[in-house]
């Protein structure tokens, strides 16, 4: 029976980009119960274990509820009033800016922030601070697919069709996506399809596959080129579609012609027969989809790899056709909306380019500022973090919704850069590893304590609804940004803290842009709307059915060719190391590691190793190992997995301290997207003795 006085609200899960519909029941005694929303089509009554246990973070024992200040370098942090904390931050920011200019202050955001917070954060950086030094953790997640999708189709929306369309698919190729663990409710839409899974591991998703292709890490691009070669050689091109709806196939074919199946097998390890079977299966179906994920993107050539898969999809005539399509599976909860509205270094709201004079003029009018006062593009996420505290680099950083101490590549170097700052300010609701380094900590609201909008992987704009009051002393990110802006000399009305008011301004700022929200009514989102929405009540669930977003309406092939990963195994580091997610944890783990039901199943860092590889390095199943690269080493529990490639080890990246997988990852960047190469580096294994019981166990 519901508790007397309980309040039931419809909202959405705080985790991945499916944004599963939920119903929260908040009782007067402070308890929160979650149930799946059976009416929301994306999950239709299903949740994964993270969604079921999401309320556990709301009552975390170490919840941040009071601002903390380090009054001087080297001093311990002390609780402070909000006025004292904000005055201190404002005073220090003004001092640093006066001495070194506006670019001495940087801002780093997150793909989990609501649209309103992402929009306001970008506006705050460019108007209140006047800095070009703003980027976000989506640079580590979606930037390669965004660049490739924009080049091919003229606009970037993860899925240009509803998730529910996948339920009618006969065949789906998943390249670098382990959806059975990262977004399990999506699997219900794939139950009727034959799956072709491209993954170096035999993942939980690959266990469901009709065909599993297991390329060596870093060779995905060669495989995609080979699949296109086979499609052409075996007569599967859709010539009519190419002539009517695309440009540039001939040059693309000249690149792919060099990647015949036998050459692809030598480079990738994928047998010729499996390459041909994959193309035959995909080409012979009437309703077929090709979907890419982080495994294709997180490389120093990730944009080219995604482009190669898009080229394959175009050659087969999939995009923009009812019952078929190409899409990218966005990862973070608001990974789509978070990159559309201005917290990315080169973009303004509505997915406009910050270098476009017309875009600058439009947004400046909405903000009530001079277009010439807006800064230009700044460095990308990793480049920004790596420049902190260096000569000429930012001396202060404000972090909202991110934990780069765990999530950034070459994580020890980034932690050192954060520690070198004159001022590090972090807004969060639990003490993440980045919070532990902060000079000022600002406690902010969580998902069930706030209103706002999110945009899921299909471009569906959703309402996040407040179900309960935050703890005393906790404030919203919007309130924090307004109060800081006022202390930096801005009029308070320029930075409203009411989500409805902010969304109304976002609508005006996005109007006419690629991601146009101008026709979406905040109060009408009981029925979510897909962008673009240029007229009141308009929704566009399926893009490209008539034309692509380029001026001539045609999609573009993008010629690419294979190149090696930035770092290959050698005598000193003879293995490929690759990273990814597991079912019971999310992102840097700052939230999920505080939920007992989740840590019971995945509570410490581990490394998957083939049994023969474990024997070669003197490792035992269940023992400890140090995984070492040129950037350092991480400590993990050994799990022997007979299906894994003998040249590859796999580490999840959710764990802190000595168990951080990103202590070893390579910050080599994609030249287009500036995505770091998380998915492959050269490594070796070293056995470790178990620490004595009195000094603690393995990695936490």
What does the pLDDT look like over 534-578, one tens digit per residue?
A: 999 999 999 999 999 999 999 999 999 999 999 999 999 999 999
With 50 as the cut, is the pLDDT of residue 695 above it? no
Per-residue pLDDT reduced to its tens digit, 607-655: 999 999 999 999 999 999 999 999 999 999 999 999 999 999 999 999 9
Residue 125 DSSP one-character state? I
Residue 92 DSSP one-character state? H
The structure tokens listed for 403 are: 């934990």
Same domain, 392 and 466: yes
Mean pLDDT of 493-505: 98
Per-residue pLDDT reduced to its tens digit, 40-66: 999 999 999 999 999 999 999 999 999
Same domain, 290 and 386: no
Same domain, 591 and 674: yes
Same domain, 180 and 241: yes
pLDDT of residue 29: 72
From 504, 521, 550, give the residue that closes a domain. Answer: 504
Same domain, 305 and 361: no
Asked if residue 536 is part of any domain, the answer here is no
From 280, 304, 329, give the residue that closes a domain. Answer: 329
Same domain, 125 and 169: no
Asked if residue 539 is part of any domain, the answer here is no
CATH number where 117 lies: 3.40.50.740
CA distance 494 to 223: 51
Asked if residue 520 is part of any domain, the answer here is no
Grade residue 3 by pLDDT with cuts at 50, 70 and 90: low
pLDDT of residue 370: 98
Asked if residue 198 is part of any domain, the answer here is yes
Mean pLDDT of 181-196: 97
pLDDT of residue 72: 84
Please report which helix (H) or strand (E) contains residue 386, including its range. Answer: helix 381-387
Sign of the alpha-carbon torsion through 229, 235, 236, 239: positive
Q: How many domains does the chain have?
A: 4
Residue from 74, 133, 67 nearest 422 by CA: 74
Grade residue 74 by pLDDT with cuts at 50, 70 and 90: confident
Query: What backbone torsions phi and psi does residue 492 show, to the nearest 5 degrees?
Result: -60, -30
Asked if residue 543 is part of any domain, the answer here is no
Same domain, 164 and 109: no
Asked if residue 44 is part of any domain, the answer here is yes
Same domain, 41 and 182: no
Grade residue 697 by pLDDT with cuts at 50, 70 and 90: very low
CATH number where 33 lies: 2.20.25.90
From 483, 504, 525, give the residue that closes a domain. Answer: 504
With 60 as the cut, is the pLDDT of residue 700 above it? no
Same domain, 89 and 131: yes
Grade residue 4 by pLDDT with cuts at 50, 70 and 90: low
Same domain, 136 and 149: no
Per-residue pLDDT reduced to its tens digit, 506-534: 999 999 999 999 999 999 998 989 999 99
Structural domain that includes position 13: 7-58
Cis preceding-peptide flag for 510 (omega within 30 of 0): no
Partnered with residue 257 across adjacent β-strands are: none
Same domain, 322 and 363: no
Mean pLDDT of 167-175: 98
Share of the chain above pLDDT 90, in %: 94
Per-residue pLDDT reduced to its tens digit, 131-154: 999 999 999 988 999 999 999 999
CA 673 to chain centre: 13
State the CB neighbour count (10 A cutoff) for residue 180: 21
């Amino acid at each position: 029976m519901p508790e007397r006085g309980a309040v039931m609200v419809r909202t959405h899960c705080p985790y991945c980009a499916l944004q599963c519909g939920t119903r929260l029941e908040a009782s007067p005694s402070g308890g929160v119960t979650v149930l799946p929303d059976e009416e929301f089509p994306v999950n239709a009554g299903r949740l994964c274990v993270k969604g079921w246990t999401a309320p556990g973070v709301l009552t975390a024992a170490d919840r941040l509820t009071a601002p903390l200040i380090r009054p001087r370098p080297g001093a311990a942090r002390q609780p402070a009033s909000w006025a004292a904390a904000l005055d201190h931050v404002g005073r220090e920011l003004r001092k640093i800016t006066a001495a070194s200019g506006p670019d001495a202050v940087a801002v780093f955001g997150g793909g989990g922030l609501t649209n309103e917070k992402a929009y306001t954060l970008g506006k705050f950086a460019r108007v209140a601070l006047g800095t070009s030094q703003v980027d976000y953790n989506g640079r580590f997640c979606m930037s390669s697919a965004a660049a490739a999708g924009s080049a091919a189709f003229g606009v970037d929306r993860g899925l240009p069709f509803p998730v529910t369309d996948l339920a009618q698919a006969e065949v789906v190729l998943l390249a670098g996506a382990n959806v059975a663990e990262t977004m399990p409710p999506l699997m219900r839409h794939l139950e009727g399809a034959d799956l072709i899974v491209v993954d170096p591991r035999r993942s939980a998703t690959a266990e469901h596959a009709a065909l599993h292709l297991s390329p060596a890490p870093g060779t995905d691009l060669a495989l995609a080129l080979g699949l296109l070669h086979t499609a052409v050689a075996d007569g599967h091109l859709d010539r009519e579609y190419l002539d009517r709806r695309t440009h540039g196939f001939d040059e693309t074919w000249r690149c792919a012609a060099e990647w015949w199946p036998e050459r692809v097998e030598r480079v990738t390890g994928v047998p010729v027969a499996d390459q041909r079977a994959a193309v035959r299966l995909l080409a012979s179906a009437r309703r077929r989809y090709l979907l890419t994920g982080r495994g294709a993107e997180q490389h120093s050539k990730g944009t080219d790899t995604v482009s190669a898969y898009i080229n394959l999809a175009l050659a087969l005539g999939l995009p923009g056709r009812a019952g078929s399509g190409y899409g990218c599976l966005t990862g973070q909860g608001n990974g789509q909306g978070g990159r559309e509205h201005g917290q990315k270094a080169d973009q303004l709201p509505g997915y406009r380019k910050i270098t476009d004079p017309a875009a600058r003029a439009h947004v400046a009018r909405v903000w009530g500022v001079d277009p010439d006062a807006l800064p230009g593009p700044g460095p990308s996420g990793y480049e920004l973090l790596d420049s902190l505290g260096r000569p000429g680099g930012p001396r202060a950083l404000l972090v909202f919704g991110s934990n780069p101490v765990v999530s950034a590549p070459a994580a020890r170097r980034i932690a050192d850069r954060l520690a070198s700052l004159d001022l590090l300010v972090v807004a969060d609701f639990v003490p993440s590893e980045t919070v532990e380094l902060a000079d000022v900590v600002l406690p902010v609201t969580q998902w069930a304590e706030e209103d706002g909008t999110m945009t899921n992987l299909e471009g569906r704009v959703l309402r996040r609804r407040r179900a309960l009051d935050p703890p005393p002393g906790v404030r919203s990110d919007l309130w924090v940004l307004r109060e800081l802006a006022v202390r930096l000399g801005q009029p308070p009305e320029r930075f409203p803290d009411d989500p409805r008011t902010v969304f109304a301004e976002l609508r005006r700022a996005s109007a006419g842009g690629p991601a146009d929200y101008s026709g979406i009514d905040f109060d009408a989102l009981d029925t979510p709307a897909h962008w673009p929405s240029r007229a009141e009540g308009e929704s566009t669930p399926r893009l490209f059915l008539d034309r692509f977003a380029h001026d001539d309406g045609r999609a573009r092939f993008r010629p690419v060719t294979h190149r090696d990963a930035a770092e290959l195994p050698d005598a000193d580091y003879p293995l490929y190391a690759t990273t990814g997610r597991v079912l019971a944890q999310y992102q840097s783990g700052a939230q999920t590691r505080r939920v007992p039901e989740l840590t019971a199943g995945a509570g410490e860092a581990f490394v998957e190793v083939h049994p023969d590889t474990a024997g070669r390095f003197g490792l035992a199943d269940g023992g400890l190992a140090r995984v070492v690269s040129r950037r350092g080493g991480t400590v993990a529990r050994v799990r022997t997995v007979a299906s894994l490639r003998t040249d590859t080890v796999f580490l999840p990246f959710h764990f802190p301290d000595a168990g951080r997988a990103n202590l070893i990852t390579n910050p080599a960047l994609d030249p287009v997207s500036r995505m770091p190469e998380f998915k492959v580096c050269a490594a070796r294994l070293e056995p470790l003795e178990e620490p004595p019981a009195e000094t603690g166990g393995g990695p936490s």
